[in-house]
Amino acid sequence: DTEVTQTPKHLVMGMTNKKSLKCEQHMGHRAMYWYKQKAKKPPELMFVYSYEKLSINESVPSRFSPECPNSSLLNLHLHALQPEDSALYLCASSPRGSGGSYNEQFFGPGTRLTVL
């Protein structure tokens, strides 16, 4: 298994809903990442987990809550989102812990989120 998977592919939610995005990899990668990408912009880093511990939080609002239950799984819990949070949410993983300099990141297909 050489890929990062994400579910769901699409998600529409209201501002009062609670939902979760899921990311999975079975490549034995030791770091996992959440990115947000708006149209015609590059990905923006949100969170980094290295060896299942949160190592970077890029000052993301608390309505986004990451969770890493085990080394293969990464969740992003969503609550009370705003319409401006509508975007493509990308998960990525890399073979070594995130502190390593030489460490390629591989992206999943993303979840297209729309907040009404």
Partner 1 sequence: QKEVEQNSGPLSVPEGAIASLNCTYSDRGSQSFFWYRQYSGKSPELIMFIYSNGDKEDGRFTAQLNKASQYVSLLIRDSQPSDSATYLCAVRGGGTSYGKLTFGQGTILTVHP
Closer of 13 and 88 to partner 1 (Cβ)? 88
Contacts with partner 1 by CB under 8 A lie at 31, 33, 41-43, 45, 48, 50, 55-56, 88, 90, 94, 97-110
d(CA 52, CA 45): 17
CB 115 within 8 A of CB 81: yes
CB of 103 to partner 1, least distance (A): 6
Closer of 9 and 16 to partner 1 (Cβ)? 9
CB of 73 to partner 1, least distance (A): 18
CB of 47 to partner 1, least distance (A): 11
Which amino acid would we find at residue 79?
A: H
Cross-strand partners of 48: 33, 56
d(CA 88, CA 90): 6
d(CA 76, CA 21): 5
CB of 61 to partner 1, least distance (A): 19
Closer of 18 and 41 to partner 1 (Cβ)? 41
